[in-house]
Structure 1
Amino acid sequence: MSPLSTNDLNRIFESLDRKREGLVSIYELQQLLGRVGNYTTLEELEKLVGKTNLDFFDFFFFYEAIINPKINEDIAGNDFLESDLLKAFKVFDLNGDGFISCEELQSVLSRLGLWEKSNGDCKNMIKVYDTNSDGVLDFEEFKNMMSLSDSSKV
Structure 2
Amino acid sequence: MCLLSQSELKRIFEKVDVNGDGFVSLEELNRMLQMTGNSHYTIQELESLVENQSLDFSQFLFFYNGESRASGGGDSEELELESDLIKTFRVFDLDGDGFITSHELESVLKRLGMWDETNCNDSGTMIRFYDTNFDGRLDFQEFKNMMLVSKA
TM-score range, shorter chain: 0.5 to 0.7
Matched AA of 1:54: L
The share of aligned pairs that are identical, in percent, is 29
Partner of 1:32: 32
> What is the CA distance between 1:68 and its match in structure 2?
1.2
1:84 counterpart = 2:83: yes
| 1:8 partnered with 2:8 | yes
Per the normalisation by structure 1, the TM-score is 0.52
Answer whether contact 1:86 1:139 (CA < 8 A) is retained: no
Quote the residue 1:127 is aligned against: 125
1:5-154 counterparts in 2 under 5 A? 5-37=5-37, 38-69=39-70, 83-86=82-85, 125=123, 127-128=125-126, 135-136=129-130, 137-139=146-148
* Moved segments of 4+, more than 6 Å: none
Gap change, CA 1:32 and 1:138, over 3 Å in 2:
closer
* TM-score, reference length from structure 2: 0.53
Match of 1:99 in 2: none
Corresponding residue SS for 1:9: helix
SS in 2 for 1:68: helix
Unaligned runs of 5+ in 2: 90-96, 104-120, 131-145
* 2:83 aligned partner, one-letter code: D
Equivalents in 2 of 1:88, 1:22: separation in Å?
18
Q: Structure 1 unaligned runs (5+)?
A: 75-79, 92-112, 143-154
Matched pairs, number: 108
CA RMSD for the aligned pairs? 4.1
